[in-house]
Amino acid sequence: MSPEPQAIDRAVSRIGELVGAPGVNALGPGAVDLEGQGDAVILRPLLQDALEDLPVDLCVQPTAGRRKRLLIADMDSTIIGCECLDELADFAGVKEAVAEITERAMRGELEFEGALRERVAMLEGLALSALEACYAERVRLNPGARALVRTMAANGARCLLVSGGFSYFTSRVAQAAGFHEDRANALIEAGGRLTGKVGEPILGREAKLAALRGEADRLGLALAETLAVGDGANDLTMIEAAGLGVAYRAKPVVAARAHARVDHADLTALLYFQGYRAADFVD
């Protein structure tokens, strides 16, 4: 949901008062242009303080190089609105126990790889039909996800879905949203059921960072030309390394260290952050 127009107007007014009225232009619900208004590093905390009580998301960065040429996105609770592992656990009757571990892992309280193995072990014996039912009944793209990916792709950006979740889901979500490629973990199966094991090596925090760096190198891009978005602690290193690292509805440890955060608007805020206008969106 986009912020109310009145909140946007108040935000623009406050920004104008703080940095000087000329050159303050609203691009849309997710972004304001500050034309030639100085150092982004200095402005960011000042504007965050000024807008703290308004439901408006803030991104402060130079205009030059604002449009990114590589998008690396997390899946669970970022591109989609649920945690697939928690939902699978519901089919196995162990959602409460699994969701508690998921929450702690996403907050950075548990080592991701060990937490993933522990949760997957609780799914041992679950019929593969549960994966199909889970995807059909519970997995939905978050608002703005398709527009974000397809608009960036239409403008020449490479778009990767890189998840600590599972390839069964990422392959389908990537196709629905328009990603060029997806990378994730593999659930091991035998005889039509899950074995409670996950393929090794596990795609976690360091693998996400490696995907960002590796794809940028392959494309001949500087990290400044990249955008990463996620919500959990296993996304933090790629978010910090990207040219624009965005925390989407994120855990506190991630929100505190990202370049920008989206707490109010939908995922099209990432397009506004790059200088796109609503008329540019592809959906």
Q: Exactly one of 53, 57, 74, 217 is catalytic; name it.
A: 74
Q: Exactly one of 57, 76, 182, 235 is catalytic; name it.
A: 76
- Asked if 53 is an active-site residue, the reply is no
State the DSSP string of the chain. Answer: -PPPHHHHHHHHHHHHHHH-STTEEEEETTEEEETT---HHHHHHHHHHHTTTSS-------STT-S-SEEEE-IIIIIBSS-HHHHHHHHTT-HHHHHHHHHHHHTTSS-HHHHHHHHHHTTTT-BTHHHHHHHHHH--BPTTHHHHHHHHHHTT-EEEEEEEEEHHHHHHHHHHHT-SEEEEE-EEEETTEEEEEE-SS---HHHHHHHHHHHHHHHT--GGGEEEEESSGGGHHHHHHSSEEEEES--HHHHTTSSEEESSS-TTHHHHHTT--GGG---
- Asked if 39 is an active-site residue, the reply is no
| Catalytic residue IDs | 74, 76
